[in-house]
């Protein structure tokens, strides 16, 4: 696996420089942008991760993320001075994968970066040495999902998914009918300790996932909610 390419979009020069020094010290290739417009110009198909400030002059981080999502499912880590749960949900609904409130420790930032990049390698099949020779699919309820990297077909149609959506769906489909609590899902997919406020993060990603796989997302039949317990995937294996 080659060195990851990280794009930092942050209008505070000191914060931007601190993150750059940290990531370059870990061996990452880093590109900097001082605002959303510059970030969109510097974003490319080689970008593996975007660290994106929400509150910036000109074009907000939310709008910048929405523009990126039109062309890529690269992981986006939001940075913001706001720590309200509602602000976090807005960022996730705009297409972000994770959220870090300022001030943050560089240890926490680095942990989030490594976790997002690790999942993204699987998403693109970068760290699967023999993927082409051993493609494996799970087929349930009209959905086919590759167990080795992100390749999903919904009722025969190839469907683009973010790495988070892919990993949640794969987890649920590997264990149909099993109830997964929000804690189970978070610790399995994010590979981080669970805190109660992570519930909203799971709810947002489940909601986005249902939009992609359900015929009627308002009345889900495949990913159902077991009230007070969690979520489960309904369906039997196809022959």
The enclosing domain of 202 has a CATH number of 1.10.10.10
The pair of three-digit structure tokens given for residue 63, joined into one six-digit string: 């709008």
The answer to whether position 52 is within a domain reads yes
**pLDDT-based confidence at residue 133 (cuts at 50, 70, 90):** very low
The pair of three-digit structure tokens given for residue 35, joined into one six-digit string: 């605002």
Burial-class residue 123 by CB neighbours within 10 Å (0-12, 13-18, 19+).
Answer: buried
Domain that holds residue 36: 5-123
Burial-class residue 119 by CB neighbours within 10 Å (0-12, 13-18, 19+).
Answer: buried
Is there a single domain that holds both residue 105 and residue 197? Answer: no
The answer to whether position 239 is within a domain reads no
Higher pLDDT, 235 or 52: 52
Q: What is the pLDDT of residue 127?
A: 46
The residue among 199, 194, 203, 120 whose CA lies nearest residue 164 is 120
The answer to whether position 224 is within a domain reads yes
Answer for the pair 163, 120: CB distance below 8 angstroms, yes or no: yes
Residue 128: pLDDT above 80? no
Q: What is the pLDDT of residue 84?
A: 59
How many structural domains compose the chain? 2
The answer to whether position 130 is within a domain reads no
Contacts of 184 (CB under 8 A, 6+ apart): 230
The answer to whether position 60 is within a domain reads yes
Give the mean model confidence (pLDDT) for residues 171-200. Answer: 89
Mean pLDDT score of the chain, rounded to an integer?
Answer: 86
| Last-in-domain residue among 65, 100, 123 | 123
Is there a single domain that holds both residue 116 and residue 158? Answer: no
Helix residue spans in the chain (DSSP H): 13-25, 36-42, 61-69, 85-93, 106-123, 163-174, 182-189, 198-213
Is there a single domain that holds both residue 70 and residue 175? Answer: no
Per residue in 152-161, pLDDT (tens digit) is: 999 888 898 8
Q: What is the pLDDT of residue 87?
A: 64
The enclosing domain of 69 has a CATH number of 3.40.50.2300
**pLDDT-based confidence at residue 122 (cuts at 50, 70, 90):** low
pTM over 0.75: no
The answer to whether position 128 is within a domain reads no
Least confident piece of the model among 98-112, 120-134, 223-237 = 120-134
Per residue in 195-214, pLDDT (tens digit) is: 877 888 899 899 999 999 99
Question: Measuring CA to CA, how many Å separate 231 from each of 94, 101, 159?
Answer: 23, 28, 22
Is there a single domain that holds both residue 153 and residue 97? Answer: no
Q: What is the pLDDT of residue 236?
A: 59
């Amino acid at each position: 696996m080659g060195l990851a390419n990280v794009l930092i979009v942050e209008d505070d020069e000191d914060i931007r420089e601190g993150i750059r020094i940290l990531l370059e010290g870990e061996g990452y290739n880093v590109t900097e942008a001082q605002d959303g417009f510059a970030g969109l110009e510097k974003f490319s198909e080689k970008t593996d991760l975007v660290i994106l400030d929400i509150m910036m002059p000109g074009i907000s981080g939310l709008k910048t993320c929405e523009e990126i999502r039109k062309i890529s499912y690269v992981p986006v880590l939001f940075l913001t001075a706001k720590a309200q749960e509602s602000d976090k949900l807005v960022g996730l609904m705009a297409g972000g994968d994770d959220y870090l409130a300022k001030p943050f420790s560089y240890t926490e930032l680095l942990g989030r970066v490594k976790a997002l990049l690790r999942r993204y390698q699987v998403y693109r099949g970068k760290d699967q040495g023999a993927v082409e020779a051993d493609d494996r699919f799970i087929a349930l309820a009209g959905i086919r999902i590759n167990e080795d990297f992100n390749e999903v077909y919904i009722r025969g149609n190839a469907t683009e998914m973010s790495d988070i959506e892919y990993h949640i769906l794969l987890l649920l489909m590997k264990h149909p009918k099993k109830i997964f609590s929000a804690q189970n899902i978070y610790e399995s997919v994010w590979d981080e300790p669970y805190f109660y406020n992570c519930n909203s993060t799971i709810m947002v990603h489940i909601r986005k996932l249902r939009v992609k796989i359900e015929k009627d997302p308002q009345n889900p039949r495949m990913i159902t909610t077991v009230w007070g317990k969690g979520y489960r995937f309904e369906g039997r294996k196809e022959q």
